[in-house]
Amino acid sequence: MSQHEVGVDLETSLGYLLKEASSVLRAAMEEVLRPLGMSVTHYSCLELLAQRPGLSNSELARGAFVTRQSMNVLLQALERDGYVTRPAEAPVGKALPTRLTPRGRRSLEKASAAVRSVEMRMLAGLTETEQSRAFRILQSMIRSLRDGDGA
């Protein structure tokens, strides 16, 4: 029942392995983020804002792979606790550009270091060449899946 399968063989499926890797990575991130009182989405939001200041709620949602509704609840909490700021009025359109406060930036520093250590650990057994290959391969997978999206 495990050879000449019409379906998907879990032992050799790259899709399954991809999901497993992502799951283990997420768990490892949660582990180091929990002591800092931060969730993965929480961290993702702050990191996105540090690298691309002024992102709107919808853009943050896309970057963190959640819906804008979910990101909005998070942003409201972050704003309430003084980690980010949003203008009361939209400078253009309806999009509210969000920015980190000094407190948010400080909070991110420790988290970012922690996450970076996790990523280093993940890549520990790989050569530079393998890492570049992994990068290109993953990008190819993403592109292939996106292209055939509405086809």
All residues at 6 or more sequence positions from 40 whose CB lies less than 8 Å from its CB, including other chains: 26, 29, 30, 33
All residues at 6 or more sequence positions from 55 whose CB lies less than 8 Å from its CB, including other chains: 48, 49, 63, 97, 98
Nearest to 98 by CA among 68, 56, 65: 56
Partner in contact with 19, chosen from DNA, a second copy, none, beta carbon below 5 to 8 Å by kind: a second copy
Task: Name which position in 37, 80, 124, 128 contacts a second copy (CB under 8 A).
Answer: 124
Task: Name which position in 22, 67, 70, 76 contacts a second copy (CB under 8 A).
Answer: 22
Q: Report if residue 70 touches a second copy, rule: CB under 8 A.
A: no
For the CB of residue 129, give the shortest distance to DNA in the complex, in Å: 34
Binding footprint of a second copy on the chain (CB under 8 A): 1-2, 5-10, 12-15, 17-29, 31, 47-48, 50-51, 53, 63, 65, 108-109, 112-113, 115-116, 118-119, 121-126, 130-131, 133-135, 137-146, 148-149
